[in-house]
Structures are given as structure tokens and as C-alpha cells.
Structure 1
Amino acid sequence: MRKFKRIHEAAIKRKGGESKLAALLTPVASSEQLLGVPDERYLAQLTRCVFNAGFHWRVITAKWDGFEEAFEKFDIGRLLTKSPDEWEAYIEDTRIIRNWQKIQTVFENAVMVDEIAHEHGSFGKFFSEWPVSDQVGLMRYLHKQGSRLGGKTAQWFIRFTGKDSFMLTGDVVTALIANGLEINPNASSQRDLKKIQEAFNDWHHETGLPYTHLSKLLSYSVGDNVPVEVLTGYQGSQTVTA
């Protein structure tokens, strides 16, 4: 694989200089910040990412206040004590997207968050202590223990909480392959994910940069050159753990 310096230089050139690029490389959340996030906000973020899948994110953004109201601000105790009839009533609730399979994930992921909290003290403690160098393991865990957290949904959840992480967008995968990593274009097998994790670990040790920044720099080094002002607003609009 190439040294990361060349990738960084390509991103600087494409984004119009170091100062413009720096505006896109926002700080990642510290372990202390992640630890301080209440469990219900993690459930809210999980829910938002699940519902985003298959819908344009602006649709979910426009209805999000209704989600917060309908799901009791994601109070886990309240959600876990709702009766089956109360859950079925959400099918008629116009405050939310009335997709029954996704509505069920709110309960199922509330169970997961609650079980993790009982085992570790809080979901935030579990989540903040999971090593960044094993993001693939965290993704696998969330997929196995949670509901509809496969594919990129777990990746978006991790990213939108602010935890240091990489994203396997099309541009990131293209850049990984272009820079010498031998993986399939869909980058979904455990073999490919292991190689990707190792590449990010190596580049992190080489540069000292957060994984989030490494991932963004890879993305900015190839593909469509999306304007800086378009990119700056997206992540903040999706974060509900802050």
C-alpha cells in the first residue's frame, strides 16, 4: 500500500487547499464524551440510522421531532413496558414512518441497549471502551445482537455518534483499491473487512490521524469533487446523541 502522505496531498489539492480541507476534518468524540451520552440517545441514533436506510435522509430529518415524541424520547424503560397493542398502534401513527419491520427494531434495539447496560454499567461505557482498532468487531457485534444493523447501518451509527471510525462509502473503497489494497469492490466479506481494518490501523500508526479523518481523506482523494459547503452540513444534521 502507498504511504498516506500521497493520499493526503491529493485530498488537499482537490478541496482547494489545507484550510478548506481542515473545515471538513472535524474533531472526533473523546471516550469521556461518549461515556457521558445517555443510553436513550444511543437508541435514538440507532433508530435514526435504521430508518435512514432505504429513505432519503431528509425525509427522516423532516419527521424526526415526531419520532422523538412518538417514541417517548427513546426512554428505554417506557419502551420496554409498552404492550403489544401499543406497539401495533404505531402502524397508524403519522408522526413517524409507518414501516412495521422498522418500528419493531425500536423495541428490539431497546432490548439490546438495555442488556448491554446491565452487563457493562451503561451502553456508553461499552461503546466508548470498544477499541477503534477493532471497528470491524464492533460492527459484527451490533449486527449480531441488534436488529437491522447490518451493511452500512452500523457504520453510520458509529460515525454519527462521533466515535472515531471509518466509513466504507464507494469513494473510500475505490481509494483503498487504488492505493494497493486487494479487496473486492463490495468490501463486505470478513476477509476484506479484516484487510481494511489492518490498513486503517497501519495508516493511523503512520500518521497519528484519527480513523475518521483517514476515511474522509481517502474519500476526498477520488470520485466526484463535492463542494466543501455541501459536505460540512451533513453529519451534524444526522447526529442525535449530542
Structure 2
Amino acid sequence: MKKTPFATKPPAKKARAAANKAARPKKPQPLDAIVGADGLARPPWAAVDPLLKHYYDTEWGMPVRDEHGLFERLSLEAFQSGLSWATILRKRDAFREAFAGFDPDAVAAFDDKDVERLMADERIIRNRAKILATITNAVATIRLREEGGLPALIWSFQPHATPAPRTIADIPTTSAESIALSKALRKRGFVFVGPTTMHALMEATGIVDTHLVDSHRRGSSGVWPRE
């Protein structure tokens, strides 16, 4: 049979090619803090991209104790699930505009027209389940005011000690506290609040300090000592 210029590889060849690709040694990823040209040590994820570097230097790990701030970060962590945080950061201004500045009262009032508006907005992550989750969580945030509010609940899960990681491999992705927080939020009607997502929220909002020990940001939140 004469081959055409666009003939594809037979299944056996495709399988061998995939196996060979998988067998190739992967480039090792850096695990330790990286000292930048400015002389400051940062984790690998925040050492190169200017946007991530600025976020790490000025915001990540600093305490967030207000309802609005925690609702926004809870929402963005949910949208980040399965994606890179850099993707979310680049779209954050658009998210804020699309979701009424992440005002829980405004978002809780979103209806079907708002959902379709958001699904048509190419500037944000157009995931219907995550959009609906944000609205659901806004309603739950308002309801939680009767129990003292979202900040009080989230910060009640602050642990007695924080990790002291020397490499990226030392940083946990869940904890007993993030598991308990996830259960507490789900009990109150929140969704997209799994233990890993809640651990990331706790890291980002200063509830735990997972800055590498050698990082220039270690202990900068005022919540935990540098050690």
C-alpha cells in the first residue's frame, strides 16, 4: 500500500515512541532557595517570573484577616485547581472585575444571566463548575456571619507550629489543620475547598509559614518567628 505524505505512525510505533519519551531522563528541578541578582533568596517558583517574584515578595504569606480578602483568595484558589498560580495571577484583575470585586453580597446575588456572562468572558477561567462554586461560597460566606464570620472560622485552624522547610520537597501539601478546615467549610455549604486547596490558602494568607528557611521572606508575616 502506497504511503501518503500525511500517513501517521502505526500504533506499535506510537507506543514505542511514547515509551522512549517516558524513559528519557527528566531535567531535575531545583529544590533549594535560589539567590537572585538582587541577593535575595526565593523558592524556585518565585525566582524567575517577574509577576510571581513580585507576588512572593509583597503578598504571599502575609496575613489576611478580613472577610473580603479571604473570600477572594478562597475563590481564586478554587479557580487555580488544576492550573498554575501564574495563570490566575495574570487574570486576577479580570476576575475582580467579573466578580464584582469579590464582594460576597454582590456575588451571592448572581443569577443565571451572570453565569452566562462569566462563561462568555474570555479573560477569566470559563469553568462553569468553578463559577457556580464561587456563587455558592458567597452565599455560604454570608450565612457564616451568624457564627462569627469567615475570618474567625478559617483562622481558628491556625496550628500551634509551622513547618520549617529547607527544600521544596520538605513543604507539605496538606496538614491535619487543612483537612479539618476543609471538613468545617464543607459542613457549612462551601464547595471546592479540598484539603490541598485549603493548605494552599493557609500558606498564602499567613496562617502557616512555609517559606523556605533560607528565603528572605521567612518570618516576615509577623505571625510566625523566623526561627
TM normalised by structure 1 equals: 0.52
Q: Which residue of 2 aligns with 1:125?
A: 152
Q: Which residue of 2 aligns with 1:139?
A: 182
How many corresponding residue pairs? 152
Q: Which amino acid aligns with 2:182?
A: M
Q: Does 1:99 align with 2:127?
A: yes
Q: Which residue of 2 aligns with 1:41?
A: 69
Identity of aligned residues (%): 23
Equivalent pair of 2:71/2:102 in contact (CA under 8 Å): yes
Deviations 1:19-57 (A, max 9, x none): x99877x9966xxx654x2x1221110111111111122
Deviations 1:63-118 (A, max 9, x none): 11000000000111111122222222211012311111111111011122212222
Deviations 1:151-199 (A, max 9, x none): 41111111111112xxxxxxxxxxxxxxxxxxxxxxxxxxxxxxxxxxx
Equivalent pair of 1:15/1:21 in contact (CA under 8 Å): no
Unaligned runs of 5+ in 2: 1-31, 44-56, 161-175, 222-227
CA distance in 2, matches of 1:76, 1:15: 37
TM normalised by structure 2 equals: 0.56
CA separation of 1:22/1:99 partners in 2, compared to 1, >3 Å: closer, same or farther? closer
CA distance in 2, matches of 1:46, 1:92: 22
Equivalent pair of 1:117/1:123 in contact (CA under 8 Å): yes
Moved over 4 A (4+): 20-24, 26-29
Q: Which residue of 1 aligns with 2:92?
A: 64
Equivalent pair of 2:64/2:70 in contact (CA under 8 Å): no
Pick the aligned partner of 1:87 from 115, 124, 128: 115
- Single out whichever of 96-105 and 137-146 deviates more from structure 2: 137-146
CA distance in 1, matches of 2:89, 2:33: 27
Higher relative contact order (CA 8 A, sep 6+): 1
CA distance in 1, matches of 2:183, 2:110: 29
Rg comparison, structure with higher value: 2
1:163-242 maps to which residues of 2 (within 5 A)? 163-164=207-208, 212-213=209-210, 216=212
Q: Secondary structure at the match of 2:91?
A: helix
Q: Which structure's residues are more often helix, by fraction? A: 1
Equivalent pair of 1:34/1:127 in contact (CA under 8 Å): no
Unaligned runs of 5+ in 1: 1-13, 165-211, 221-227, 237-242
Equivalent pair of 2:78/2:197 in contact (CA under 8 Å): yes
Q: Secondary structure at the match of 1:55?
A: coil
CA distance in 2, matches of 1:148, 1:128: 18
Deviation at 1:126, TM superposition (A): 2.4
